[in-house]
Amino acid sequence: MKRHAANIGMDPSSIGGHSLRSGFVTSAGKMGIPIGSAMAMSTHRDTDVFMGYYQEGEMLNNPAADLLED
């Protein structure tokens, strides 16, 4: 990951495999993908770690979050 980031001019210290997994789980939460399906794809073994990202994604898709913008 770091080598590919450097090849396209990104700071390699700003990205890693964890970033991709975190982004995937957050996106799955936003899209309402079932937890079991998302965990199977992300290969997370720790449900607590997975749920931290998943819930964050669900929160971003919650209509109540619009109230926080004002």
39 to 31, 45, 52, 61, 68: CA distances (angstroms): 14, 8, 12, 19, 29
Mean pLDDT of 46-60: 83
* Per-residue tokens: 28: 């799955």
- pLDDT classification of 55: cutoffs 50, 70, 90: confident
CA dihedral 50, 53, 58, 59 (to 10 degrees): 140
pLDDT digits (tens, 9 = 90+) for 18-42: 778 888 998 888 888 999 999 999 9
Q: Name the packing angle between helices 17-31 and 35-42 (round to 10°).
A: 160
Q: Which amino acid would we find at residue 20? A: L
- Provide the residue ranges of all domains of the chain, joining segments of one domain with +: 17-69
Report field, pTM of the whole predicted structure over 0.75? no
